[in-house]
Amino acid sequence: MAELIEMPRLSDTMTEGVIAKWHKKVGDPVKPGDLLAEIETDKATMEFEAPVGGVLLYIGAPENQPIPIGAPIAIIGKPEEDISALLQKGSSPAKESQDKAQPTSGDGAPAPSTAPAVSTTPTPSTAPVVSTTPAPPFAQSVPSAETRLKASPLARSMAREAGIDLHQLQGTGEGGRIIRRDVEAYLAKATTETKIPSLPPQPAAAPYQEVPLSQMRKTIARRLTASMQEAPHFYLTRSISMEAATAWREKLNTLSPVKISFNDLIIKAVALALRKHPYLNAAWMGDHIRLYQEVHIGFAVAIEEGLIVPVIHHADRKGLSEIATETTALAQKARERKLTPEEYTGSTFSISNLGMFGIEEFTAVINPPEAAILAVGAIQSVPVVKGDTVTVERRMRVTLSCDHRVVDGATGAAFLTTLADLLEEPARLLL
């Protein structure tokens, strides 16, 4: 019996997904565990395996279009199996998911959709035929004109892909049913008898480019807008001497089996400082404050689609070599969009480091529901007055963004003092 495949929930914050690539096409045999598609979530692009075996009879989710969680995306069953009843059944949850995703007006009723449904029935015109009635995803894949014909799902799919009106075909299957060989015969005949029409003139290039939002960019926009609107941010900046840390890191890298970066030193120092200042390792929960008993440090990694924050779990308990190994591996997986949900969730405090880009100082937006985030600038050689003399010293400016609902100014300042003490006497990181 054919089985309807729905858009899965692949992360705790995921509300919709995008099929980045189908690895199977309609008519292909499928075994359980075969790679069926790549699904882009708000955090990563993940491989989706076929839950059952059979033949891929139907694809209801085109590539690069957002599909709500639980909406039908495919059907797997036996060759030539009649799936019309399953299509009807599948259209209801798809429509329900679509309705839930629609914005509402002031009285709670669904607001009119800004994107009308587009009919896929071919017409002589170069412009698509636009219907003002919203249609569920299956409605685009199964036009009403086709449902009155007897045709196998594979034949319908082949006809849609080729832009063929099934009314032009004579079925040779049981009871006049149009099947695969009828579509293939029609295509073969059309190839020899007709010429491919020339493309219509293309309009002049627009003076701008419309860039569709990725799932990651949508999530960044939603979460950080909410953070700036809801969390009362305030900022504390401190300059930290990195002379001792620079010399200590050079010595460590002659002994360590892995290269330890300045970011690794900062992660370790932050983790130890959070032990002493629990209100920085906290979260605003609406009607109470949550103080975390474990320290999990998220570190921001810039990728093409935006920003993702892998997590070093129990960073306060790990040695520098272990932290360095994890940050290198997680950053690489982040750039390849291969992080698992466990690797980018659960942070209790975040660090954003733009020092490698030459940025001297900046402020970062808090990653909710965390209470704070540390922005790290570049290490620079600057003149420093000590007593009656001026010397040149390597220094780094850090800015702590705090949620004033959780952290007060003195609390944030004390945290930065502890952090500075650890980095200015880095041997303490081993204690």
Give the catalytic positions in this structure: 404
- The one-letter amino acid code at 332 reads Q
At 347, is the secondary structure helix, strand, or coil? coil
382 in Cβ contact with 393 (< 8 Å): yes
Residue whose entry in the numeric block shows the structure tokens 């293939």: 184
> What's the first-to-final CA gap in the chain, in angstroms?
63
Planar angle of CA 263, 269, 271, nearest 5 degrees: 105
- Rounded Cα distance between 189 and 166, Å, is 15
> Which residues 6+ apart lie within 8 Å of 62 measured at CB?
19
Q: Which among 24, 41, 42, 25 is positioned nearest to 33, based on CA atoms?
A: 24
Query: Side by side, which strands form the sheet with 29-30?
Result: 3-6, 72-77, 54-59, 29-30
Q: Which two tokens stand for residue 284?
A: 């605003």
β pairing state of 297-299 and 349-353: parallel
